[in-house]
Amino acid sequence: MLLLGAHERFGLHGRRLLAVIKTALIVRAWTRCGNADVVADAFGCYSFEVRRLSECFERILTAAVAVVTPPKAQAIEADPPFFEAAFDDDPSLAERVRALAAMVAHGVDEQTVTLTYVDGIGGKLARRLRDAGIVDIEELALADPAELAKLRGVSATRAARWVTRAEEQVRSRSAFALREGAPWAQTSIQTWNSEVEPYRLRRALDLKVRRQGDGFAVSGGLEPHRVACSGEHLNCDCADFAKGHTCKHVLAVRLQQKDPELIRLVQRLPIETDAGGLDLFRLWFDEGKR
């Protein structure tokens, strides 16, 4: 545990150690909301101090990215770009540092930062998408371009390009890969042996299902959808289902009905466990205990 042993590793004691922890918490809070005034009120400081601190960390992390990134000749083999590693690989140190630098630069958390890996999406647009219910790149991959185009500053062409790029990227890297809590139970994509997409199945776990007439109402995503029963088949009114995919809404209904295949697959998804204690990653990436 890095911070618990900081007094021995770096000679930090008492107030200095508390200052380090508070600094980490302030910048972490900044990445959660991207609002300097809100963070300042929570920690009893001035908003300009929060902005100055985030700018300082951004410069440090930008330098750290340069230090941990392999030479160009080795970059492709040694450290593939984000969302281009194997689905079940842990993110590399360089990948985490780049993500953290983007989190601090844009004022977004470890989920929303994955939106900025799509060309054309910066901090402001990422926060706008998050506020509309698109919290990360997996939600973007499942979004309806026509609905996205209703957002301010987003054209139909741009929305379609974003969704297409997101669909390509999530097939090799889960947006959950950056969350750090403890060792993950690994799943090999080569042995998945199912037509159900892992990221759609994971999203289905977050949805709420209730019976409505002869079908189901599914909520918890960008907008509610209806899943109708046609004999043994389930049909959804969402754009993802219209494209021929088994959408997250249908999967959510099947999970509510205790579908044995899906229950088996859920058990093989990467999971997070609480190892206890306090470490640096917990301060930066995890929600923590309050």
Is residue 89 domain-resident?
A: yes
| Cα(113)–Cα(32) distance, integer angstroms | 10
Is residue 53 domain-resident?
A: yes
Same structural domain for residues 24 and 104? yes
pTM: 0.59
Number of independent structural domains in the chain: 2
Same structural domain for residues 96 and 211? no
Q: What is the mean pLDDT of residues 10-35?
A: 79
Paired tokens of 117: 């890996």
Whether 87 shows a pLDDT value over 60: the answer reads: no
Is residue 32 domain-resident?
A: yes
Same structural domain for residues 38 and 174? yes
End-to-end CA distance of the chain: 19
Same structural domain for residues 21 and 67? yes
Whether 251 shows a pLDDT value over 90: the answer reads: yes
Same structural domain for residues 155 and 179? yes
Is residue 1 domain-resident?
A: no
Answer yes or no: are the C-beta atoms of 261 and 160 closer than 8 Å: no
Same structural domain for residues 104 and 62? yes
* Model pLDDT, residue 192: 67
| Cα(146)–Cα(143) distance, integer angstroms | 9
Q: Find the range with the poorest average confidence among 67-76, 112-121, 139-148, 166-175.
A: 67-76
Q: pLDDT tier at 267 (50, 70, 90 boundaries)?
A: confident
Same structural domain for residues 89 and 56? yes
Same structural domain for residues 120 and 205? no
In terms of residue numbers, what domain contains 17? 6-183+275-285
Q: Find the range with the poorest average confidence among 49-63, 86-100, 269-283.
A: 269-283
Q: Find the range with the poorest average confidence among 48-57, 87-96, 109-118.
A: 87-96
Q: What is the mean pLDDT of residues 110-134?
A: 87
- Distance of alpha carbon 250 from its chain centroid, rounded? 22
Same structural domain for residues 65 and 99? yes
Same structural domain for residues 224 and 205? yes
* Model pLDDT, residue 182: 43
| Cα(271)–Cα(210) distance, integer angstroms | 26
Is residue 290 domain-resident?
A: no
Same structural domain for residues 34 and 97? yes
More reliable by pLDDT, 233 or 86: 233
- Give the count of alpha carbons within 13 A of 55, CB side only: 7
Neighbours of 191 (CB within 10 A): 9
Same structural domain for residues 194 and 226? yes
